[in-house]
Amino acid sequence: MSLVAAFVGASGCSKTIECLDLPGGCADDGYTHSETVGETVGETEGDPTNQEPGLTVLTVNKDVDILFVIDNSGSMGEEQALLATSVGAIIDVLEDPDVGANYRIGITTTDNGNPWCPSGATTPEAGKLVASSCKSRLGDFSFNNSVDVQDLACNDICPLSQAELEILPTTTDVDANAKPRPWLESIAGAKNIPDAISMSDAFACIAPQGINGCGFESQLESMYLALIRTQNADEASYGFLRSSAILAVIFLTDEADCSYNKSYSEIFEQDGNKVFWSDPAASFPTSAVCWNAGVECSGDPSNYASCDAVNKDVNGQSNVSDANAVLHPLSRYIGLLDDFEQQKQELNAEQEIIVGLIGGVDNTGEPYYADVGGTNPVFQNTFGIGPGCEAPNPSNPNEPAQAVPPVRLRDVVEAFTPGNMFSICESDYSGALDSIVDRIRDQLQPACYTQCVLDSDPATPLVEPTCTVEEDPPGNANTTAIEECLRDANGYVIDPQTNDYTMPGGQANVCYALLSDKTGLTPSAHDDMSAQCIDAAFNLEFKIARRPGFPAVGGTSITATCSVAEFPEVDCPGIGG
């Protein structure tokens, strides 16, 4: 929604502020901005020299889209279980009343097929989103007739059958027809699963993807295809991404990226060029092909100084053009994410794509590269490098669980969210997910009112603003007044069912709250200003609350008119931070 505020000061001057529903703070740039809910923001319009002074942008956007890319190869049973049971760290933050995110969570796998993973042997998702209970896919939790993690990775952690985990019909910004979508969402307090089911339980059932996926994991290509599918009207995931939403991509994997160009599939074939095989005389390739085809290391092999992503052609020649690279070049993936980021930054210059990895790094998030041929020839032969981390293996205490250090994935993370890598060898991923969601929360900036409002009753301890608020749906010539959220003698009344502000009357589906308590002067926390608004010396913050199931219609704008102080430098010293 767009929050346009016209402030009329006691001196008679008028200041107009347009507030977009976007994360990232306020910009005093002298331009008029326009915004639509859940759709593309319009172009900057008008001559800035003819605008009223004091134009700014206020944040009220709470939209977050999260894509998980989960490795579903044979070694990933315990890791999927750990993710499923740790994700509450993300859900708790997103649903915290102080955050109140309108979020979507989509899940795909790393399986994008391979000549050694023929159709029928695996069922590559190739970026399709999966939203079904693992109990309906128990066959996926056995690998090679020797490993069975049905209980470990599904039955012991998923409390819901597929019938209980019903995905309810919803609409999207690009599809007004309500139907079940292949993702989890909670928007304006309305979930797309039954009310009695928590999002954490739903994720615990959907996140485990099994261990029968292709062992030549295409983490980056799966991400790429998943994001591309969301733009295609013929795909079930169409509309998953919202133009103004914060986008976070989280990888969970214990191997190197093997996103190969299918034009060069001969690098895997028995009668092809075996320049990347650990053993050209072998009857089948190992995952070492993926490492050897896309990485070069320098320095002492017992502890390489560096390992870097490079383009190699089918003959093993390094530093070739993107077109001749047997693994898709990183520019393909960094470019796609950068395109999304630039589109979002047209709406909010400070919004950034978030990329996180739970993979083969140590507990400080640092990768370690070393050959271990003499001490661990099987691992070296299988993966082309020694392990980046190790952990106890509950399935086989004599063989520790080991993960391959990332290089290509590392570079994509570092391009967007430096330092956002965490060890897959940890026994709990809550800390990793806490850190990742903190990056999301940092972009969900509060709706600071960026002018000094007039205190209509200086005798009371809090600033008492005088404001009117109106809602203007698209295509409607008439605006509708929005009432303030319900108050009683103790302050704002919180609905125990939604843990949100209470609507003021029978038919109201939206209300506003005015927050002006900077120092805990009242016993209620629901009129407290956020630390960000306080630090910037503002004296008012807006909260817009909606009845669950009644989100704003695309294109809706909200206008507020407040009286502002005649002498802001006296009433709000240091305003703006």
Q: What is the pLDDT of residues 525-543, one digit of tens each?
A: 899 998 888 999 999 998 8
The pLDDT of residue 243 is 86
Domain map (residue ranges) of the chain? 2-61+446-571, 63-443
* 347, containing H or E segment: helix 330-347
Q: How many CB atoms lie within 10 A of CB 477?
A: 5
Amino acid at 206: I
Question: Span 53-77, mean pLDDT?
Answer: 76
Question: Span 350-372, mean pLDDT?
Answer: 95
Per-residue pLDDT at 98 exceeds 50: yes
Report yes or no: 209 and 80 within 8 Å, Cβ to Cβ. yes
> Can you tell me the distance from the alpha carbon of 492 to that of 498, in angstroms, rounded to the nearest whole number?
14
Per-residue pLDDT at 555 exceeds 80: no
> Can you tell me the distance from the alpha carbon of 54 to that of 465, in angstroms, rounded to the nearest whole number?
18
Per-residue pLDDT at 15 exceeds 90: no
The pLDDT of residue 180 is 97
The pLDDT of residue 34 is 27
**What does the block give as tokens for 130?**
């999966």
Per-residue pLDDT at 37 exceeds 60: no
**Looking at per-residue confidence, does 216 or 555 come out higher?**
216
Q: Mean pLDDT over all residues of the chain?
A: 85
Q: Which residue has the tokens 């806490």?
A: 434
- pLDDT tens digits, 184-202: 999 877 899 999 999 999 9
Residue 488 β-bridge partners: 491
The pLDDT of residue 17 is 31
Per-residue pLDDT at 230 exceeds 80: yes
- pLDDT tens digits, 280-319: 999 999 999 999 999 999 999 999 999 999 999 999 999 9
Report yes or no: 73 and 217 within 8 Å, Cβ to Cβ. yes
The pLDDT of residue 553 is 67
**Looking at per-residue confidence, does 229 or 244 come out higher?**
229
Q: Which of 109, 60, 113, 119 is nearest to 83 (CA)?
A: 109
Report yes or no: 483 and 471 within 8 Å, Cβ to Cβ. no
- Supply the Cα-derived Rg of the chain in whole angstroms: 26
297-to-233, 377, 384, 546, 549 alpha-carbon distances in Å: 43, 18, 11, 54, 54
Amino acid at 107: I
Please compute, for residue 310, the number of CA atoms within 13 A of its CA located in the half-sphere on the CB side: 17
Question: Span 121-126, mean pLDDT?
Answer: 88
* Ranges of H-type helices in 87-194: 88-95, 150
> Can you tell me the distance from the alpha carbon of 468 to that of 5, in angstroms, rounded to the nearest whole number?
9
Per-residue pLDDT at 28 exceeds 90: no
Residue 358 β-bridge partners: 252, 422
The rounded Cα 483 to chain-centroid distance in angstroms is: 33
Report yes or no: 369 and 297 within 8 Å, Cβ to Cβ. yes
pLDDT band at 476 (very low <50, low <70, confident <90, very high): low
Q: Which of 367, 335, 366, 365 is nearest to 353 (CA)?
A: 335
Please compute, for residue 97, the number of CA atoms within 13 A of its CA located in the half-sphere on the CB side: 15
Amino acid at 150: Q
- pLDDT tens digits, 398-444: 778 899 999 999 999 999 999 999 999 999 999 999 999 999 988 88
411-to-149, 166, 417 alpha-carbon distances in Å: 32, 38, 10
pLDDT band at 40 (very low <50, low <70, confident <90, very high): very low
Per-residue pLDDT at 91 exceeds 90: yes
Report yes or no: 450 and 480 within 8 Å, Cβ to Cβ. no
Report yes or no: 100 and 250 within 8 Å, Cβ to Cβ. no
Question: Span 115-130, mean pLDDT?
Answer: 88
